[in-house]
Amino acid sequence: MKDCDGIVRSISPDDTVFDAIKAMDSFKVGALMVIDKSEKLVGIISERDYTRKVVLKNRSSNTTKVSLIMTKKIAQVDSDAGIEKCMDIMGKHRVRHLPVVEKGKVVGVITSTDLLILTVNEKDNIIEQLERYISPGGY
């Protein structure tokens, strides 16, 4: 996932699930992009994948490869996508992490939290403008 330092948090499909969980903990994120050697996005691994496909199936996270449990069908957007489009895609696909892809490469990740914050900020700005408009001494 792209953090404030501009790095997309990712892992290789050949890494173990244990390595993925350690990375998620280290980066304080709930999912990682799975990117192969040719820098192509091939999947996403999330805490949800771990609980449903490792814990519940009694697999070992030390020996199970990321490629075995990652989500392979990936909803994604390009960098021109607006808030509404991202929300629509995330809602339809029931995902909390949406890769932003340009020219076949992941350049960032939109999370449900990002969209919530943007939406609340947008609504707060509208309320503030309306309050200024209707208050004495406003516009």
pLDDT tens-digit map of 51-106: 999 999 999 999 999 999 999 999 999 988 888 899 899 999 999 899 999 888 89
Q: What tokens does 83 get?
A: 């808030």
Cβ-based neighbours of 138, under 8 Å, separated by 6 or more: 131, 132
What span, in angstroms and rounded, lies between the C-alpha atoms of 38 and 21? 23
29-62: pLDDT as tens digits: 999 999 999 999 999 999 999 999 999 999 999 9
Rounded distance between C-alpha atoms, residue 137 and residue 53, angstroms: 60
Angle at 95 between CA 67 and CA 83, to 5 degrees: 130
Sorted by where each starts, the structural domains of the chain and their CATH numbers stand as 10-134 (3.10.580.10)
What is the distance between the alpha carbons of residues 124 and 98, in angstroms, rounded to a whole number?
25
The pTM assigned to this predicted structure is 0.78
Cα separation, 85 vs 23, whole angstroms: 29
Residue 139 pLDDT more than 70? Answer: no
pLDDT, averaged across the chain: 87
